[in-house]
Amino acid sequence: MLEAATAPEAAVAVSAHLLSSSPSVVVAADEPAALGRGAAVAVGLGVPLLLPGAATAQEVRRLGAEEVLTVGPAAATWAEQALTERGDPDVEEAGDPRPAPAEGGAGTVVLVTGAPWEAAAAATARAAGAQVLTVPSGDPRADGAVVEALHTAAPQHVVGLGPAFAAQDVFASRVEVAVTGVQLPGGGQLPLAGRRLVALYGHPGAASLGLLGEQPLEATLERARELASRYDGLDERPAVPTLEIITTVASGSPGPDGDYSNEADPAELEPWVDAAGEAGVAVVLDLQPGRSDFLTQAKLYESLLRRPHVGLALDPEWRLAPDQVHLRQIGSVGAQEVNAVGDWLAGLVREESLPQKVFLLHQFRSSMVRDRDLVDTTRDELVTVVHADGHGTPGMKKTTYGVLTAGGPPGLEWGWKNFLDEDRPTFTPAETVAVDPSPVFVSYQ
């Protein structure tokens, strides 16, 4: 990543990074008309475009330029005042632009946000033969077109310009993921970037546990797509069909292992997970661990979580203490256990260079996630969602949602569950979107 706070600094930074020398330099006044013409001249000649600034004269000398071509009166005035040392290049007004050559090879890619102050730096990058890609958010994983372009380019060197891009280690990791070209359902590599996941909740073949289990696999995928389509056009977020699969199901009896949880065989879920991915449907695996713990159970499904489109949900209602039983007590989990799972899952993402994953916490009481303000939401590999899954009247649900969204660490996203039978009445898609804050993960049970 190149650090630059101003347009002249950015132009110098890119020039210094990409070029060891140049016979000519174009210096343009920092105003739209001059910048546009200066960029055309510089790219046509294959030389850097610089702007009047404190470090510009030094960069001209470092490049060993024999001439400086100016565009605009302010650039000419600057050159007369700044290039006065013995051996400084000749200064003259730039001529007409030459036709720009075809975009350079894939050896170097420079990422910019598209801000006006980057114009000269971007022109210098193009003149040096680099490919320039615009990443408004500063995260190359956010845009499917950028991901595809980076994958196609297979660059040897990628540079991010300016403070919008992350620190070097995070930036390098993001680029490594983007270059894989893997795209999530809905495009890009950030599951909640400008979109909303709309999910069928339940367990395959178990109609009593939710909508997901009420029909066979192909019909489930079609139902998920139809449900998500009801949210399209309600706001600026397109909807992505999703399956939230209860992977370990809370049990009223201890079972052979004594943990009050029935763990599904990963091989039985594999056809559902893979078919969803092929159909452009996201997947979240939901854990109800009973007297086991979330990390132990999550590791059972590592093979599925290595799929790019698969996230993870923790359901603390069903996380029991050693002396508790389901439906007699409501379970809970502490931040330490949540963070242990998050650390493990983030490590898996790094190991496989995977897109960011949804990391979802179900909650309808504050007591269900103890010390929630200590939950780590800073992992770049995960997006953490608190999912309000209480049922009842609209007033009850809104009150619960208000309490849950009032606290917690910065960086949390918010989810909402609609119950077709228990809610009185069930929120419509428009009513769901209108909840404040508008949920980015909506599930149906």
Q: Which of 118, 146, 179 is the last residue of a domain?
A: 179
pLDDT digits (tens, 9 = 90+) for 127-159: 999 999 999 999 999 999 999 999 999 999 999
Q: Are residues 30 and 73 in the same domain?
A: yes
The secondary element (H helix, E strand) that includes residue 346 is helix 335-352
**What mean pLDDT, rounded, does the chain reach?**
94
Give percent above pLDDT 70 in the chain.
99
Q: Are residues 211 and 166 in the same domain?
A: no
189 falls within a domain: no
Q: Which domain holds residue 168?
A: 7-179
Give the tokens for residue 190.
């950030």
Would you state the pLDDT for residue 106?
56
Q: Are residues 170 and 276 in the same domain?
A: no
98 falls within a domain: yes
Count the domains in the chain. 2
Would you state the pLDDT for residue 373?
94
pLDDT digits (tens, 9 = 90+) for 274-328: 999 999 999 999 999 999 999 999 999 999 999 999 999 999 999 998 988 988 8
Residues 6 or more apart whose CB falls under 8 angstroms from that of 209 comprise 202, 203, 246, 249
Residue from 132, 160, 121 nearest 42 by CA: 121
Q: Are residues 170 and 223 in the same domain?
A: no
| pLDDT range class, residue 211, cuts 50, 70, 90 | very high
pLDDT digits (tens, 9 = 90+) for 110-127: 999 999 999 999 999 999
Whether the pLDDT of residue 21 is over 70: the answer is yes
Would you state the pLDDT for residue 102?
63
Q: Which of 123, 146, 179 is the last residue of a domain?
A: 179
Q: Are residues 268 and 386 in the same domain?
A: yes
Phi, psi of 18 (to 5 degrees): -100, -20
* CATH number of the domain encompassing residue 403: 3.20.20
